[in-house]
Structure 1
Amino acid sequence: MANLKSIAISVTFAIASFDANANLLVNSGFEDDLNNWSILGTARIRASDPAPYEGTSYLYGRGSQFTVWQDVDLLDNGYSVSDLDAGMLTLQYGGWRP
């Protein structure tokens, strides 16, 4: 990840099967601060300046590198080993930078 002066990111994730989208992340829009996220570096949550693209909060970092993530157990979320082996699952994500 590049070292940027400032970056604001609004992120939503979904792991989808053939015809169903399901957001398997907890607090995917960072509306509940950084709860349920693992963090490496100096990530923060902001609610303004600039305003969030969507929702009330967004992930923000200034002048440093950072990583945030969640581990999702697909088997615990109803996917089968054959779903995983078929290679038909997709990850959808997005971000916004002013």
Structure 2
Amino acid sequence: MALSALLVAMGAVPAWAGIKCERGYQLVQGNLISTPYCQDDYLAQVAREYGFQASAAKIRNNPNYKKELCRYVFSDIRVQDTCLSAGVPEARGGVR
């Protein structure tokens, strides 16, 4: 606890600590921008709504886990772009 307070006081805050995400978009100077970081965060949130115990960190660190989740939740329009960029659905060759 004291170490984290010291790091904050020194300005050594991790980059992700300042990232604000809204529905898969990153808030940057008042504008919402699509970023892989926030898309992964949103995919985890949507997957949890379907009953998966998903975390954004696991999605970011394991592309196969991301694809596995996408196979189940691809029909949800909120994550279709994220899943398409991950290569799902493979069987249809992607939507053109």
| Range of TM-score over shorter length | under 0.3
Question: Higher strand share goes to which structure?
Answer: 1
TM-score, L = length of structure 2: 0.22
Question: Higher helix share goes to which structure?
Answer: 2
TM-score, L = length of structure 1: 0.21
Higher RCO, Cα 8 Å, sep 6+: 1
